[in-house]
A and B are shown apart, each in its own frame.
Chain A
Amino acid sequence: MTAKSPPPLAVDQLIDDRRTRIIVCCGSGGVGKTTIAAAVGLRAAERGRHVVVLTVDPARRLAQSMGLSSLDNTPRLVPGVQADGPGGSLHAMMLDMKRTFDEIVEAHADPDRAAQILANPFYQSLSSSFAGTQEYMAMEKLGQLRRADEWDLIVVDTPPSRSALDFLDAPQRLGRFLDGRLLRLLVAPARLGGRTGLKVLNVGFGMVTGVVTKIIGSQLLRDVQTFVSAMDTMFGGFRERAEYTYRLLRAPGTAFLVIAAPEQDALREASYFVERLERDGMPLAGLIVNRVHRSPAARLSVARSLAAAEALQGLPESDSSRLAITALRLHAERMRQAASERRLAEGFTAAHPFVPVAQIPAQPDDVHDLDGLRTIGVAFDPELQRRPDTCGPSPAMA
């Protein structure tokens, strides 16, 4: 029985289409999102687009290769882009979530009040370690870049969260929290008093604040109170901003690329994410299965390879036979791995038969230069996706 093969994902078509303005790369941690985002950005720039890549947590050497030596929240021109044809360009920036948060505060409050907020201990912990802040600020930055309209394509690498869904939900969660009734209720009891739903539930208001004070301490509660009164004018704004970017994600011109490794957990997360995007009417371009193993000698099956290795063992030993035995066993192992990866990917396609898929060959070493990114980009050619055998282990060898 042969499994139905998915439609090929043509990343090149996506980046060549001028109507594509935002590409969001998402997926669970450790699947190579950052590298794929960078490779998409570079390929688009070299095909003539003006691109900015917003990255969150790049490997040091990859960041350096893109000229990102510091986390300064400013798009930097990446040198070494070889555009053939009318000039494209590539900028890259690393998200500084605290700086981005600070800028929102500075933009919305007068200088005195802004200074007061920035110095508040609760604000400092909120802006640097709050769950969801990174996702919120990544979306905020995306909105800013889109409004600046200096680039015709924005590629976003989403934060390394455990679940790919965090990145969609966290901004609204933070927005809701900051705008939340409970936040104001707990810290400004004088204003809202007892006219709340608490009485209905027979829980005294004093008891609520009492317990909260017991648990989190009175100092923190005071910090929160100061923070809330200083931020008063900005409330409402947070949820609005989160909703703006959420709408941006659904707008025509946005495309989601879901990235997975050919592994059980990563593909399961990819599956959840695809279902969620469909449910929310978000534009899914397709799935990228990163780091798949292929063999340039795929015509030699596991069984024949092992049989040949065994035959050689029965013959007089020589340097060349030792080398061949190793090569044949290695080949059999790689073929087994490739088959197992293919089965896992087929499992995804069985559940989502219409989601286009592209496979990116595993690279022999970590990618840390533009050439490495270019090598990955080769697989964005839909022709190569239709002829999977040509996605050999390293195109450089061809």
Chain B
Amino acid sequence: MLVSVRDTDWDGVRLHVVTGKGGTGKTTVAGALALALASRGKRVLLIEVEGRQGIAQLFDVPPLPYEERRVAVAPADDDRPGGDVFALPVDPQSAMIDYLAMFYNMRQAGKALTRLGVLDFATTIAPGLGDVLVTGKAAEAVRRKEAGRPVYGAVVMDAPPTGRIGRFLNVASEISGLAKVGPIRGHADTVQSVIRSPQTAVHFVTLLEEMPVQETLDGIAELREVGDGGIQPGGIMVNMMRPFGLSDVEQSGSATGKMTDDKAGAAQARDADALAIALKAAGLDDQGLAADLAAELADEARTARAQREQREQLDAAGQPCYELPLIPDGIDLAGLYRLAAALREQGAA
């Protein structure tokens, strides 16, 4: 099959950061992307940073500990078996204990300090610190090797929402108020070198609505302006697309563009007349049904028009856009696999 040999749009990328406004389905898309990447035979690590156990819910497994655990096996491709998806919820405190253990050999002390609330305190008074430690964990997973080979083919991070993503990833300036030298500085520099390299891309999940689109555009601009070449924006994942679009309603009189209420009313009446004839032929001659369906059609046409305007704005951002279908009745595992397949078919993974 072509898909398996074709390059994807993000072939050199190993750290996929997924962000999006609240309510756009960021965690779901991050999970689907991890599955899609794994179905190319890779071992993928899915990292969650907001402490909500969203990944456990998504994959329908019990709450996850701070430990890399397998949560799913991707479907096999034609010529190779599917890879595994591992998940890891990272919180600043656990990452800090890791950090103290790694650089100061202080794991026990770290745990004692946690009990006293000291680590919570430190990450609280220095908000950038938690971000450095969390992104540091992702960078470490990207770089980790066993027998000279990377342990993970790709790392997907379910990152903070769009409004916070620039600050979250801009590790260097975040810790400028902290230690200027020493291990934490070195740590931040390593993290930064991964995040600012072509190995990292930041994907934006959005809906075709005003606020999420605006936040996506602002977020992309922010990443480009971060300085020193910026952070690479990735794809725009347009989520929860209903199966009908403007092309479907274009033939209705109501879809011809912005018009005055009078004209819209007249167009809708013309649609109703045309519908009445056809409905009668189909054996539906219920009084008023044609008018009601024409109203519904006009409504869909307005929605589609508003969505097309948003889509045009997204296209102008110059990043690849991928469309993900609305999964009715909520996301379950089957729905997640469908989204993963959609991402693969469109070349996102």
Contacts and interface: CB of A to CB of B under 8 A. Distances in A.
Binding site secondary structure of chain B = helix
Interface stretch (B67-75, B108-116, B146-154): B108-116
A397 B254 CA distance: 12
Given A296-B296, A326-B252, A397 B281 contact: no
Interface string A299-311: 1100010001101
Interface in A360-398: 364-366, 368, 392-394, 397
Interface in A56-90: 59-61
B243 interface: yes
Interface residues of A, number: 82
How large, as a class, is the contact surface on chain B?
Answer: 35 or more
With a 10 A CB-CB cut-off, give which of B126, B274, B298, B299 has the most chain A CB atoms: B299
Interface string B314-349: 000000000000101111000000000000000000
A336 B214 CA distance: 30
Contact of A212 (B22, B118, B274, B294): B118
Given A318-B278, A328-B293, A217 B116 contact: no
B23 A264 contact: no
Contacts of B302: 364-365, 394
A393 B298 CA distance: 10
B127 interface: yes
B98 interface: no
Interface string B236-259: 000000111000110110000000
A318 B286 CA distance: 21
Contact of B113 (A203, A217, A296, A319): A203
Nearest to B277: A320
B50 interface: yes
Contact of A162 (B22, B112, B282, B299): B22
Interface stretch (A101-109, A123-131, A232-240): A123-131
B289 interface: yes
B177 A365 contact: no
B140 to A, nearest CB: 18
Interface string A189-224: 000000000100101000110011011110110001
Given A215-B96, A217-B177, A308 B22 contact: no
Contact of B251 (A180, A265, A322): A322
Nearest to A394: B299
Given A220-B177, A297-B289, A320-B278, A30 B299 contact: no
A324 B177 contact: no
B121 A330 contact: no
A29 B163 CA distance: 12
Contacts of A121: 177
Interface string B181-223: 0101000000000000000000000010111101000000000
B94 interface: no
A225 to B, nearest CB: 11
A373 to B, nearest CB: 15
B288 to A, nearest CB: 9
Nearest to A132: B124
A284 interface: no
Contact of B109 (A31, A162, A211, A322): A211
Contact of A208 (B116, B129, B306, B326): B116
A295 to B, nearest CB: 6
A248 interface: no
B248 A60 contact: no
**Considering the complex of A and B, which 5 residue pairs feature the smallest CB-CB distances, nearest first?**
A30-B23, A29-B22, A264-B330, A324-B278, A364-B302
13 contacts: A31-B23, A125-B127, A160-B22, A220-B177, A224-B125, A261-B23, A297-B289, A309-B282, A315-B282, A330-B249, A331-B296, A393-B299, A397-B299
